[in-house]
C-alpha cells in the first residue's frame, strides 16, 4: 500500500517524485496465453541497473485487468522500494478505470498516470472535470494529470488540451493530484512553462520528453521526468538527469548532442510508427530490446514494426556512439526470456 495518506500526498510527491521514470510493457509467453513472469522480472532488474527511479506499468496493450494487476505485483515484488511503480489508468471507461486503480493500490502502485479512454468525447471542460475528479476520488494514490493531444480535446475544448483554469479547479478540489505531466499542445514547450509558473509551488511538474528535459532543466527546475520510452537510450537519460541535478550543465549538454542522431531518427519515424493518435507499444518494446530489455511478442490487436524502421532505430543508436543489440531482428519477436 502507499506510504502516504491523501492529506500527505503532495508533501510525499515533492520529496519522492525525483528522477526518471521509464516504461515497462507487459511480456507474454510465446503462445500469448499468459504473462511471462521471468521476462517482466528481467525488465525490472535492467531498469534499476540503468538508473531509473520508477517505471510505468503500461496498460495500453491487449491485456486483461487481472493479468495487468499480476504484472504490477511482479514488478513490485522484484523491485521492492528500488522503483516507484506507476499505475497506467488507461482502461475502457470510467467504471473500469475505478476498478483498476483500486486494484493497483493493492498491487503496490504509488502513483497514477491518468489517461482518458478513446470513447470519451467531452464537449465541455466540465465533462473533463467530472471524469478526472471521479477517478481521483476513487483512490488514495497520488494522481499525475496528463494534458496531451492524444485525447483529442484540442481544439474543441482548448488548444492546450487541458487549460490552466481547469487544471486550477482540479488541483483545488482533488488533494491527491500531486503532479502534472505537462505535454499540453504538444510539441510546444509552452505547457511545461505555463504549468510551472502557475502550479510549480503546489505540485510536481514533469517533463517526460528527453529532448526538452535536458535543455529546459538548465534554465528552470525540473525534478521529475515521467513517463516515457527513455529505455531506448539505455542508462543515458538517468545519467544526464543526475548531471543536471548536480549543476553539471556542460556535461549534460554533451550527452544531449551525443544522443541527437538517435533523437532525430526516432522523431523522424514518429509519423509512420505512431499513426492514428496511438502510441506504438510494439515499437517502444523494440527500442527497449535494443538496450537489452526482453522484447517478445504482443497480442493482437497491436501495431507493427517493420525491418526498415528497426534498422533505422538501431542505426540511430550506433550513430550516437551507443552499443545496441546486434542480434537478428527475428529474436526480438521471441524475446530474451522465452516461455
pLDDT at 277 over 90: no
Instruction: pLDDT band for 212, please (50, 70, 90 cuts).
Output: very high
pLDDT at 90 over 90: yes
Q: Exposed, middle or buried: residue 337 (CB in 10 Å: 0-12, 13-18, 19+)?
A: middle
pLDDT at 271 over 90: no
Strand residue runs (E) in the chain:
19-24, 54-57, 84-89, 111-114, 142-145, 177-181, 204-206, 224-225
Instruction: pLDDT band for 111, please (50, 70, 90 cuts).
Output: very high
Distance CA 273, CA 267 (A): 10
pLDDT at 274 over 90: no
Mean pLDDT of the chain: 97
Q: What's the pLDDT tens digit per position in 145-157?
A: 999 999 999 999 9
**Torsion sign, CA atoms 100, 105, 108, 110:** positive
Distance CA 131, CA 166 (A): 12
pLDDT at 44 over 90: yes
Average confidence (pLDDT) over 121-129: 98
Question: Is the separation of the CB atoms in 228 and 209 below 8 Å?
Answer: yes
Bridge partners, residue 204, by sequence:
179
Average confidence (pLDDT) over 122-150: 98
Angle between helices 125-137 and 94-107 (to 10 degrees): 30
Instruction: Encode burial over 178-187: b for 16+ CB neighbours within 10 A, e otherwise.
Output: bbbbbbbbbe
Q: What's the pLDDT tens digit per position in 166-197?
A: 999 999 999 999 999 999 999 999 999 999 99
Instruction: pLDDT band for 2, please (50, 70, 90 cuts).
Output: confident
pLDDT at 1 over 80: no
Bridge partners, residue 112, by sequence:
87, 143
Residue 276: its pLDDT value, please? 74
Amino acid at each position: 500500500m502507499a506510504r502516504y495518506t491523501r492529506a500527505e500526498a503532495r508533501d510525499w510527491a515533492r520529496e519522492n517524485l525525483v528522477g526518471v521514470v521509464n516504461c515497462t510493457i507487459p511480456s507474454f509467453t510465446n503462445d500469448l496465453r499468459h504473462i511471462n513472469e521471468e521476462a517482466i522480472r528481467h525488465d525490472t532488474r535492467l531498469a534499476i541497473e540503468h538508473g531509473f527511479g520508477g517505471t510505468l506499468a503500461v496498460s495500453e496493450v491487449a491485456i486483461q485487468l487481472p493479468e495487468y494487476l499480476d504484472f504490477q505485483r511482479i514488478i513490485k515484488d522484484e523491485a521492492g522500494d528500488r522503483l516507484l511503480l506507476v499505475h497506467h489508468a488507461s482502461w475502457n471507461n470510467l467504471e473500469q478505470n475505478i476498478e483498476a486503480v483500486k486494484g493497483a493500490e493493492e498491487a503496490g502502485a504509488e502513483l497514477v498516470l491518468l489517461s482518458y479512454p478513446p470513447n470519451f468525447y467531452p464537449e465541455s471542460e466540465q465533462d473533463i472535470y467530472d471524469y478526472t475528479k471521479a477517478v481521483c476520488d476513487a483512490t488514495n494514490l497520488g494522481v499525475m494529470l496528463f494534458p496531451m493531444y492524444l485525447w483529442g480535446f484540442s481544439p474543441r475544448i482548448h488548444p492546450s488540451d487541458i487549460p490552466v483554469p481547469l487544471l486550477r479547479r482540479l488541483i483545488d478540489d482533488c488533494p491527491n493530484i500531486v503532479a502534472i505531466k505537462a505535454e499540453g499542445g504538444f510539441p510546444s514547450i509552452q505547457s511545461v512553462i505555463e504549468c510551472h509558473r502557475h502550479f510549480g509551488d503546489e505540485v510536481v511538474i514533469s517533463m517526460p520528453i528527453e529532448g526538452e528535459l535536458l535543455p529546459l532543466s538548465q534554465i528552470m527546475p525540473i525534478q521529475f521526468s515521467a513517463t516515457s520510452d527513455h529505455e531506448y537510450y539505455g542508462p543515458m537519460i538517468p545519467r544526464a538527469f543526475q548531471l543536471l541535478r548536480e549543476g553539471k550543465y556542460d556535461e549534460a549538454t554533451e550527452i544531449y548532442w551525443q544522443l541527437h542522431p538517435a533523437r532525430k531518427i526516432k522523431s523522424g519515424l514518429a509519423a509512420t510508427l505512431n499513426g492514428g493518435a496511438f502510441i506504438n507499444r510494439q515499437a517502444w518494446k523494440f527500442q527497449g530490446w535494443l538496450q537489452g530489455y526482453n522484447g517478445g511478442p504482443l497480442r493482437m490487436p497491436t501495431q507493427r514494426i517493420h525491418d526498415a524502421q528497426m534498422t533505422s532505430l538501431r542505426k540511430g543508436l550506433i550513430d550516437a556512439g551507443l552499443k545496441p543489440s546486434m542480434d537478428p531482428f527475428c529474436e526480438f519477436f521471441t524475446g530474451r526470456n522465452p516461455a
